Amino acid sequence: MILKASQRKGGKNLAEHLMRGDTNEHVTVHEVSGFISDDIAEAFQEAQALAMGTHCSQYLFSLSLNPPELENVSIADFEAAIAEIEKSLGLVGQARVIVFHEKNGRRHCHCVWSRIYHNGDKFKAINMAHFKRKLNTIAKELFLKHGWKLPKGFTKTADKTNYTLAEWQQAERLKDDPTLLKNFFKNCWEQSDSKQSFATVLQESGYYLAKGDRRGYVAVDYQGEVYSLSRWLNVKTKELKAKLGDHQDLPSANQAREFAESRMTDAMKQYLAEKRVQAKERRAPLVQELRELVKHQRQQRQDLLERQQQRDVTERKDRLSQFRSGLSGIWDLVTGKTSKIIEQNAEAIELNQARDQAEMHEMVQKHLAESRELHKTIKFYKTQEQQEEWRLKRQIAAHVNEATEPERHIRQDNISDKLIALESGITAMSADIIALQGSLDNAMLSEDMKAKIRNLIEQAKDIVLFKKIKEKQEKSNLKTKEEDLLKTQQKLFHTMQQYEALKQQQAEQQRVIAFNRAFYAHIQAVPYNLNGVPMHKIKIVDKPLDTKAFKQKIQYQSTDTLLRNIKTKPPKKQVVNAADLAKSTASISEILKRAKIKDTPPPKTEQHKTSKLKPSV
């Protein structure tokens, strides 16, 4: 069987891939061992958590086992192959997950191991050195052991046109056949001897030679898809540079993509989409039949599992009933009868498990045979569609290269296309309708021919009428567009007027705010007397403040009168707590001296005599 493996991380994505029921017809979880959880996603999270104690980032080892399509491979054969692989790669005893997938009429197996193991007081990762070479040897031995026909990849004279998983995924996304695509690039490479000739051969089929962001040489098609030439040609970068030279003078992949997409018209895209829809509609009944078949098969398997579970419960009760209780049970234990019953039950359990497994395997093979015939038909249609898609893309690519549009088949249900076709036919037969009407007077024409000519005249009149209606409709559409444009211009002019008015209002508000702020700052700086009248002149909007009117509104009194009416009390004596009181006193005395004010000392009392000028703590 074909063995493909990889070291990887991303346990969540891998678990989703293993459990996908949309791309696989049947998904069977055969084993989850070595993990605490029975759920695959949680099991891979456990492996990731253990890997955090190591320097290993790719903590999983994923393997797919693909036997030949028509061979009857049992679960025991898969388990034996997995055991041999574990022994060869040093994975014996590691936690693992085994899942079976069935799709396209064939069955394959996925086995995923955790590379992390506990070594004393720390965790380590198993070194997977040369695992591809070892798996290739085991795969060849499995083919020889089971007597299967060796695939071309194992023979020395094999044609190395195989494609990788990444190439298959890219071709699947583009609805292309990876074999045709790989052979196409290979033929272009073999036909060319320089960079110019290689670019010319590619461009004739709608591909443009460019330089990639990470790789030296890439090809960009008219859909904007980028192809790595080193991958699709299966040649090394050194060989590419030796034949094509430096790639710095080539346009980038983005520039080539923009150029190719600019030459791809909407009509071409629509034409390609219509072809794909038609192909999907042709295959729809078969796909629906396959879905119904898969649904029926899943129900049959579920019913079989339920029957097996019920039978297992009954058989367990029968095995337990063989053990006697009480003194009889003790006697059976002493005489060794109990141990014989245990051995017999163990053998019965193995036989029952093998029987259940055989029943399920028989049903699986039956279901594979049922779906295989249907898949052959679907595969035949799909192969034809891929070939038609390839031919159509090459045709579109050639027209894109010539900056023209490919010819489209006239749809018979489109009346306008019919009229255009009839118009071209009539124009080829006669110059105008008058010539056709004049031919009716010819006595040499039969009545059948005259009837055909009259039919042609009516069709030509219909074409003329259709043209007039179409021109009238185009004029009406043009007039409507002009009216819409005029309305849009008026709306734009009105909006601009509103914008200018709002802009002027905003400027006026900003000017008022600035004036108010300046006035407020001014009146805050002006001193006032005890009556509240400013001592300096204040102008409000270029006019002086009328202080006389202000004095009349209030009960104006002189400053002396207001001072006499103010009742004051002598300040209470307070204890001054200052560290530099002597220094402050000296500074105050100096200020009074400079201001020519006499420093009158306070009268001496008993308290003053006893107190000392010391700073309080």
Residue 3 in contact with residue 138, Cβ under 8 Å?
Answer: yes
Write out 186-210 in H/E/C secondary structure. HHHHHHCCCHHHHHHHHHHCCCEEE
CA distance 321 to 551: 122
Summarize the confidence of residues 34-39 as an average pLDDT: 90
The number of beta carbons lying within 10 Å of the beta carbon of residue 572 is 5
Quick one: pLDDT band at residue 615, thresholds 50, 70, 90? very low
Question: What single letter denotes the amino acid at residue 323?
Answer: F
Confidence band, pLDDT 50/70/90 cuts, at residue 196: confident
Query: Strand 543-544 relative to strand 208-211: parallel, antiparallel, unpaired?
Result: unpaired
Chain segment 239-258, per-residue pLDDT in tens? 878 787 777 777 787 887 77
> φ, ψ for residue 527 (rounded to 5)?
-75, 150
Q: What is the mean pLDDT of the chain?
A: 76
| Residue 156 DSSP one-character state | T
Is the pLDDT assigned to residue 144 strictly greater than 80? Answer: yes
CA dist 424 and 463 (Å) reads 10
pLDDT of residue 114: 92
The mean pLDDT of 556-565, rounded to a whole number, is 68
Q: Over 50: is that where the pLDDT of 410 sits? A: no
pLDDT on residue 97: 93
Confidence of residue 155 (pLDDT cuts 50, 70, 90): low
89, containing H or E segment: helix 75-89
pTM value surpassing 0.85: no
Tokens of residue 80, six digits: 């034996």
Q: How confident is the model at residue 542 (pLDDT cuts 50, 70, 90)?
A: low
| Cα distances (angstroms) measured from residue 258 to each of 2, 120, 221, 222, 243 | 41, 59, 11, 9, 27
Contact status, residue 89 vs residue 134, Cβ threshold 8 Å: yes
Q: Which residue has the higher pLDDT, 464 or 277?
A: 277
Q: Residue 16 pLDDT more than 50? A: yes
Q: Which position has the higher pLDDT, 79 or 210? A: 79
Does 532 or 514 have the greater pLDDT score? 514
Mean pLDDT of 463-472: 68
Of residues 421 and 301, the one with the higher pLDDT is: 301
Q: Which residue, 284, 549, 279, 236, is CA-closest to 387? A: 279
pLDDT tens string 365-388: 888 888 887 888 777 777 777 777
Residue 45 pLDDT > 70: yes
- Determine the average pLDDT of the residues in 298-309: 90
Q: Token pair for residue 197? A: 């000739």
Instruction: Please state which of the ranges 28-37, 76-85, 126-135, 230-239 shows the lowest mean pLDDT.
Output: 230-239
**Cβ neighbours of residue 100 under 8 Å, at least 6 residues apart?**
26, 27, 28, 30, 75, 78, 107, 108, 109, 110
Report the pLDDT averaged over residues 111-126.
87
* Residues 6 or more apart whose Cβ sits within 8 Å of residue 577: 615, 616
Question: Has residue 428 got a pLDDT over 60?
Answer: no
Determine the pLDDT at residue 408.
Answer: 36
Alpha helices in 322-336 (DSSP H): 326-335
Structural element, H or E, at residue 113: strand 106-114
For range 473-492, the mean pLDDT: 80
pLDDT at residue 579 tops 70: no
Question: Percentage of residues in the chain with pLDDT exceeding 70?
Answer: 68
Distance between CA atoms of 410 and 21, rounded to whole angstroms?
Answer: 41
How many whole angstroms separate alpha carbon 498 and alpha carbon 323? 100
Which has more pLDDT, 443 or 207?
207
Report the alpha-carbon distance of residue 153 to residue 328 in Å, rounded: 67
Q: Which of 222-226, 428-432, 456-460 is modeled with the greatest confidence?
A: 222-226
How many CA atoms does the CB half-sphere of 506 hold within 13 Å?
6
Is it the case that residue 46 has pLDDT exceeding 60? yes
In this prediction, residues 112-135 reach a mean pLDDT of 88
In the predicted model, is pLDDT for residue 111 greater than 90? yes
CATH 1.20.950.20 for the 2-154 domain, yes or no: no
Report the percentage of the chain scoring pLDDT > 90.
Answer: 9
Q: What is the mean pLDDT of residues 585-593?
A: 65
**Of 234-248, 256-270, 351-365, 481-495, the least confident:** 256-270
Domain boundaries, the chain: 2-154, 173-263, 268-401, 415-497, 530-564
Of the given ranges (278-282, 420-424, 463-467), which has the lowest mean pLDDT? Answer: 420-424
State mean pLDDT over 428-448.
Answer: 57
Q: How confident is the model at residue 573 (pLDDT cuts 50, 70, 90)?
A: low
Q: Which range, of 101-115, 172-186, 362-376, averages the lowest pLDDT? A: 172-186
